[in-house]
Structures are given as structure tokens and as C-alpha cells.
């Protein structure tokens, strides 16, 4: 969608983006605080998550959670919140005609919660149910076990359930007071934002009733260690197996490197004709497969994952090893390069069809590192990636020899170790 971006830095220390999408019929708002689990005592890991649940409830304006939600959503507005290791984000989306009412309600909820004991007890039970259901998600379970083995900041859902009893109401009150301060706040509002609306929004955020002392909390240092053996999570109820493969670079990727690795990722797994997934499906080895890249403050991570039968797993890993080996040896055809770029350009256009999609194009980097993505330049950045760029970044992701492999299923540790050994040559060939 055609849009313009205005960055604002308020006197109270808060910063944000106003994304003007002319004639949009909806408005979205996200408010972010560095307030995740890395800031609490590990024995009270669930404090931020419980706080997020209770916060969008009773407040000084509407002193009952259900009444607040009814008022916020009465014209079809949507609200939600999410908690991670690093931050908490609150969001609303509403019809254009009620933007001021809905955003005002969100600001009241964030800044003036009542934190009632009865609502804390209710949400305590809801979070227990949420954690129990998450523990049944096999990919999530394996991912958390692997992050823990790498030495990253994480707790498994089972651990989180056990630690919940260490958290009391005062803990979440204290966490709110520590983290919900205006210098630690970032926001993005997207919609039909005329100059007068931007002025009104600036005033709303400038007058939010939060302390203006302190600073934006720094991100934690995380240095993963290489795993010498596979992470094996036994589960007799799983007929096939789930696996993840992770490899790390000991620094953050540059923007051109990120563009190149995103294209590599597309070429290998993101379409039914891709080099790995397409070839595997052609031989009936796997129904679906995913891969992606993540970056923390200090490292970059490239991962692959799939659900596959025990009998097909060795052949699928052979395909993965063969295609990545060819890639890091420089074997990318002109046709593959052109097709990959065309797909990436089309996907980028589709991602910006809605106000929410356009806003999301800015939120990840802005909330993580205060970087404002230049949306208009992304197509040119995609076109500028060369074959050598793709080969170099793919090779670089294996050169630091920090990696790990994990399996969830009933295949046994010995079989998991055999699969692990199949993958080892990738790091030898890239060195």
C-alpha cells in the first residue's frame, strides 16, 4: 500500500512511527516495551507473561476486565498482546471511525491497570491452560529444548508451569513499575493519518500516565554453544519424527547479507518447486518443510525443520546436504536466480496489501533495534543481490562451526545420532 512514515520522539522519552496510509478504512496501533523474561529472576520467569494477561483488564477507567473488553471491542475492534524473552507488545486494530476511542482505551490499559487479585487468580489459571496446550505442540517443544541446549535464554513450557507458583501479584506490579516507563516505550500507528490526526496522536502518547525516568533497556548478550550430540526428545505418541537443524554465525548479518540469505531460503524451501522441498516432494519424501533466519543482538541463526517418517528421514537429509553443498560450491543457475527474485518481489508486494501488513513491515526491526526499514528500497535491494552474495552468506553461516540438530519422536537416540552424522560434512565443506 502507498504510504509515508513519520518518526516522532516525544519529550517524555517515548518514540514511535506514524505510518500514513491515505484513505485506509482501518487503523492499527502497537505499543512495545522491553519487558520480557530476560529482565526477571529466572525462578520467576512467568512474571512478564502473567502481567501481560492481567494488564488488558481492569483499569482506573473501567474497573472490570470483561467490561473493558466489551467496551473496546463493541464495534468490532480487535485487541491482543504478546510476551517474549525480550519484550511485550500490545496491539489494537479498529475501524477508522473509532480510532481515537480505541487507542485511548489501550493507553489507559497500559498506563493505569488496577491489577486486581481476583483477575490475577483468574489469569493465573488461564496461563496454566495456555502453557499446558503449548506443551503439546511438538515443533515448539523441540525448539525450546534445543534453545536450552544451545545456552540461550529460554525455559520450556514444562519448566514454566512449575515456576508459575513462584509468582505473586506484587511481582507483576513491580515489573510493570520497572519496565512500563516512557523512555522504554516504542509505538507504531498505521492508518489514514492526516496532519491533524498525527498531532492528536502525539498529544495522546505524550500525555500517557507513565513515569518518564529511566531508559530503554539494553538487549541481553547471548552466545550459543555448538552441540556435540543431537537433542533427542522421546515421545511414544508420535508416529513420525520432528527435526530442527540450526547453524549460527557469531555476528549479526548486514542488510545486504540478510537480503541474500532470504533469497537463499526462498530458493531452497519456500515453494513446491524449490531446490530442497521441491526435490524431496518429487521423490515422495516429505509433505512440507520450513526454514528461516533469526538474529539476536550478537548472532545470526539459519534453521531448517520438518516432520518426516523415520524411513524417509535419511533420504531427506541427503537432499538437504546435497543441495546446500552445491550452493556453497557456487552452483546457482541464472534461471534459479531469476525465478527466486521474481518470487521474492511478488511476495513482498502481497505482504503490503493491508494496513496491518504494512505496519508489520516496520515493527520487527523498529522494536528490536530502533531501525526504520526503508520500505521503498526493498524491491531494489532484492534485485541487487548477486549469485556471489548468496553463496558467500550461505557459506558464512557454516564457517563458525556452531550448530545443532534435534529430533522429537520415538526413533531412538541411536537413530538420531545417525542423522546427526549425516549432516556433519556441511560444516567441514564450508571451512
Q: What strands, in cross-sheet order, belong to the sheet with 78-83?
A: 4-9, 15-20, 185-191, 26-33, 88-95, 78-83
If you count them, how many residues does the chain have? 431
CATH topology of domain 4-206: Cytochrome Bc1 Complex; Chain A, domain 1 (3.30.830)
Spatial CB neighbours of 287, under 8 Å, sequence gap ≥ 6: 281, 307
Q: What is the pLDDT of residue 431?
A: 60
- Residue stretches of the chain with pLDDT short of 70: 429-431
Q: Is there a shared CATH topology between the 4-206 domain and the 231-430 domain?
A: yes
**Cα(408)–Cα(373) distance, rounded to whole angstroms?**
37
Here the cell at position 316 is: 531427506
Domain 231-430, second-level architecture: 2-Layer Sandwich (3.30)
Q: What are the residues whose beta carbons fall under 8 Å from the beta carbon of 94, sequence distance 6 or more? A: 26, 27, 75, 76, 77, 78, 102, 103
At 122-170, the pLDDT tens digits run 999 999 999 989 888 999 999 999 999 999 999 999 999 999 999 999 9
pTM score, two decimals?
0.94
End-to-end CA distance of the chain: 43
- Kindly report the backbone phi and psi dihedral angles of residue 328, in degrees, each rounded to the nearest multiple of 5, phi listed first: -75, -15
Predicted local confidence at residue 429, as pLDDT: 67
In degrees and rounded to multiples of 5, residue 22 shows phi and psi of -55, 135
* Domain regions of the chain by residue span: 4-206, 231-430
Contact, 50 vs 124, CB < 8 A?
Answer: yes
Place of cell 516512557: 182
d(CA 375, CA 47): 36
The span from the CA of 267 to the CA of 109, in Å, is: 44
Amino acid at each position: 500500500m502507498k504510504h509515508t512514515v513519520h518518526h516522532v520522539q516525544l519529550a517524555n522519552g517515548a518514540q514511535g512511527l506514524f505510518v500514513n496510509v491515505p484513505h485506509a478504512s482501518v487503523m492499527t496501533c502497537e505499543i512495545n516495551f522491553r519487558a520480557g523474561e530476560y529482565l526477571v529472576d529466572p525462578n520467576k520467569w512467568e512474571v512478564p507473561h502473567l502481567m501481560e494477561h492481567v494488564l488488558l483488564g481492569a483499569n482506573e477507567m473501567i474497573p472490570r476486565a470483561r467490561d473493558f473488553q466489551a467496551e473496546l471491542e463493541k464495534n468490532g475492534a480487535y485487541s491482543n498482546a504478546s510476551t517474549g524473552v525480550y519484550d511485550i507488545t500490545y496491539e489494537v486494530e479498529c475501524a477508522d471511525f473509532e480510532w481515537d476511542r480505541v487507542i485511548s482505551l489501550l493507553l489507559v490499559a497500559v498506563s493505569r491497570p488496577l491489577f486486581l487479585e481476583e483477575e490475577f487468580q483468574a489469569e493465573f489459571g488461564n496461563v496454566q491452560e495456555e502453557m499446558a496446550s503449548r506443551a503439546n505442540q511438538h515443533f515448539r517443544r523441540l525448539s525450546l529444548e534445543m534453545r536450552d541446549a544451545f545456552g540461550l535464554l529460554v525455559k520450556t513450557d514444562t519448566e514454566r508451569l512449575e515456576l508459575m507458583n513462584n509468582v505473586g501479584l506484587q511481582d507483576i506490579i513491580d515489573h510493570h513499575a520497572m519496565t512500563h516507563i516512557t523512555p522504554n516505550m516504542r509505538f507504531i500507528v498505521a492508518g489514514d493519518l492526516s496532519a491533524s490526526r498525527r498531532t492528536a496522536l502525539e498529544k495522546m502518547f505524550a500525555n500517557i500516565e507513565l513515569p518518564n525516568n529511566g531508559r530503554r533497556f539494553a538487549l541481553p548478550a547471548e552466545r550459543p554453544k555448538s552441540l556435540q550430540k543431537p537433542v533427542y526428545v522421546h515421545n511414544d505418541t508420535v508416529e513420525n519424527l520432528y527435526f530442527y537443524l540450526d547453524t549460527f554465525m557469531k555476528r549479526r548479518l548486514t542488510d545486504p547479507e540478510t537480503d541474500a540469505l532470504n533469497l537463499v531460503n526462498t530458493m531452497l524451501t519456500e515453494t513446491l518447486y524449490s531446490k530442497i522441498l521441491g526435490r524431496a516432494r518429487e521423490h515422495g519424501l516429505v509433505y512440507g518443510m520450513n526454514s528461516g533466519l533469526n538474529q539476536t543482538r550478537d548472532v545470526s541463526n539459519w534453521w531448517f525443520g520438518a516432520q518426516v517418517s523415520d524411513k524417509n528421514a535419511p533420504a531427506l537429509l541427503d537432499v538437504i546436504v546435497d543441495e546446500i553443498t552445491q550452493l556453497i560450491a557456487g552452483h546457482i543457475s541464472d534461471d534459479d536466480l531469476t525465478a527466486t527474485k521474481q518470487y521474492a518481489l511478488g511476495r513482498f508486494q502481497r505482504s503490503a496489501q493491508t494496513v496491518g501488513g504494512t505496519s508489520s513491515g516496520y515493527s520487527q526491526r523498529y522494536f528490536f533495534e530502533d531501525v526504520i526499514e526503508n520500505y521503498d528500497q526493498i524491491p531494489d535491494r532484492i534485485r541487487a543481490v548477486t549469485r556471489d552474495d548468496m553463496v558467500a552468506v550461505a557459506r558464512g553461516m557454516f564457517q563458525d562451526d556452531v550448530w545443532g540438530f534435534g529430533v522429537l519422536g520415538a526413533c531412538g537416540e541411536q537413530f538420531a545420532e545417525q542423522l546427526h552424522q549425516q549432516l556433519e560434512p556441511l560444516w567441514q565443506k564450508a571451512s
